[in-house]
């Protein structure tokens, strides 16, 4: 699937905004025996899933993230418990509270993010569009602002 971003004309510099981050409501099969949710790549999330990882056993008061990705797109799901995702595009900021296993937060590339306020037993599932690569990380906020500053 080609996204609007990928159709950007060559040479045009497109800046990502926190307003491009969006909650995706996944299908829910409600059942008295317990509910079920599923995801198919390119159908329920706008990229091919190359990797999944999850964050768990987060001690009280700890924070994860604190970086942006040059190319990676992600979808974050609170499979259990809750936490806040702090989003920053270099100009605008937004905080999204995740606490439902049937919602995913889509985050395009070039968005600075932190995850904070993890509840006890919170599990954050992250579906990612690329394999792990440290070279894709921007870990310096000033460097990020320079690249995505508006
Ligand atoms: P990092 O992405 O910095 O964690 P977070 O953003 O959640 O705070 O990753 C922490 C460490 O784990 C780092 O040394 C890289 C390693 N790592 C992998 O080896 N593979 C992966 O898929 C991920 C996400 C991290």
In a domain, 6, yes or no: no
* Residue 150, pLDDT score: 54
Known catalytic membership, residue 67: yes
* Residue 116, pLDDT score: 98
* Residue 20, pLDDT score: 95
Ligand 1 atom 1 nearest Cα: 65
Ligand 1 atom 17 nearest Cα: 132
- H/E element, 12: none
Residues in the chain with pLDDT values less than 70? 1-13, 149-150
* Residue 2, pLDDT score: 47
Which of 52, 58, 63, 64 to mutate to test ligand 1, by most ligand atoms within 8 A of the CB atom? 64
Q: Distance between CA atoms of 39 and 70, rounded to whole angstroms?
A: 25
CATH label of the domain that carries residue 59: 2.60.120.10
- Rounded to two decimals, the pTM is 0.92
Considering its fold, how many domains does the chain have in total? Answer: 1
* Residue 148, pLDDT score: 85
Of ligand 1's listed atoms, the one at least distance from the Cα of 139 is: 3
**What's the domain range around 91?**
18-147
* Residue 15, pLDDT score: 83
* Residue 32, pLDDT score: 98
């Amino acid at each position: 699937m080609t996204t609007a971003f990928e159709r950007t004309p060559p040479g045009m510099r497109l800046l990502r905004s926190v307003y491009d981050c969006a909650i995706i409501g996944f299908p829910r099969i409600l059942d008295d025996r317990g509910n079920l949710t599923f995801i198919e790549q390119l159908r329920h999330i706008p990229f091919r899933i190359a990797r999944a990882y999850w964050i768990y056993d987060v001690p009280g008061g700890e924070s994860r993230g604190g970086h942006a990705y040059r190319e990676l797109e992600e979808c974050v799901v609170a499979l259990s418990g809750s936490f806040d995702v702090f989003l920053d595009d270099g100009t605008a900021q937004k905080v999204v509270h995740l606490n439902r296993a049937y919602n995913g937060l889509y985050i395009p590339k070039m968005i600075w993010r932190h995850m904070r306020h993890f509840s006890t037993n919170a599990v954050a599932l992250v579906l990612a569009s690329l394999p792990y690569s440290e070279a894709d990380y921007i870990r310096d906020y000033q460097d990020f602002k320079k690249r995505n500053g508006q």
